[in-house]
Amino acid sequence: MGAGVVYVMTHDSIGLGEDGPTHQPVEHLAALRAIPGLYVYRPADPVETAECWALALARRNAPALLALTRQALPLLRHEPSPENRSARGAYVLAEAAGPRRVSLLATGSEVSIAMAAREALAKDGIAAAVISMPCWELFEAQSDDYRNEVLGSTPRVAVEAAVREGWDRWIGPGGAFVGMHGFGASAPGEALYPYFGITAEKVVEAARALL
């Protein structure tokens, strides 16, 4: 209908509580991103949340959905920015310290996991960049030059606490995905992520396997 409706959804991943495994929304992000004309925002921290909220309110000719996490997340962006960095859908949150050898792609709560993996890789002399992708729809609308600049030409690893569907477009045929391959389980979020292998260590392993 082209209505500028904003939906605010919470409990966006497997880390949503201990009430049972039947409502783990592992497929929801893929399903929402498949809806034509819907802008799906999955912000990584309070700064991105504010940016995505502003973008959702500004677009009056299409619906938007904010997929927010239940967990407490660290503040990833401390420096003020004159622009809304989420407005282009994806951007380099942390560039590689040296020539980039691998790109780590993530959304939402998993961006902090990618940042931790970047630090671990740097200790091994592997320069990695972290790309935050809060809105695929906005990123798709960017120029080829911008998308190529952000994603780079090096191997790519994506991490998201959801199923892989849709990610192959961004990681390419030789990329790796760290995420869910089934439904979640009933346990605290801090126990579920290691149980399902959605950790910085697993991202590091995936990155090393591509090099």
Q: Which of 42-51, 80-89, 178-187 has the lowest mean pLDDT?
A: 178-187
* Cα distance between residue 157 and residue 210, in whole Å: 9
**The token pair that represents 151 in the structure block:** 């994603």
Place of tokens 């942390």: 94
Tell me, what's the pLDDT at 21?
Answer: 54
Q: 6-73+86-210 sits in which CATH class? A: alpha beta
Percent of the chain exceeding pLDDT 70 equals 97
pLDDT band at residue 158 under the 50/70/90 scheme:
very high
pTM: 0.95
* Cα distance between residue 98 and residue 158, in whole Å: 21
Contact 13, 162 (CB under 8 A): yes
Decide: helix, strand or coil at residue 120: helix
* Cα distance between residue 92 and residue 129, in whole Å: 7
- Segments of 107-199 assigned E as strands: 128-132, 156-160, 176-179
Beta bridge partners of 179: 160
- CA gyration radius, the chain: 16
Place of tokens 């809105």: 135
Strands 128-132 and 91-94: antiparallel
Which distant-in-sequence residues (6+ apart) come within 8 Å of 150 by Cβ?
Answer: 90, 91, 92, 131, 139
pLDDT digits (tens, 9 = 90+) for 94-118: 999 999 999 999 999 999 999 999 9
Decide: helix, strand or coil at residue 24: coil
pLDDT digits (tens, 9 = 90+) for 33-75: 999 999 999 999 999 999 999 999 999 999 999 999 988 889 9
Place of tokens 């911008």: 146
pLDDT band at residue 20 under the 50/70/90 scheme:
low
* Cα distance between residue 127 and residue 166, in whole Å: 26
**The token pair that represents 103 in the structure block:** 């790109």
pLDDT at 129 over 80: yes
pLDDT at 125 over 60: yes
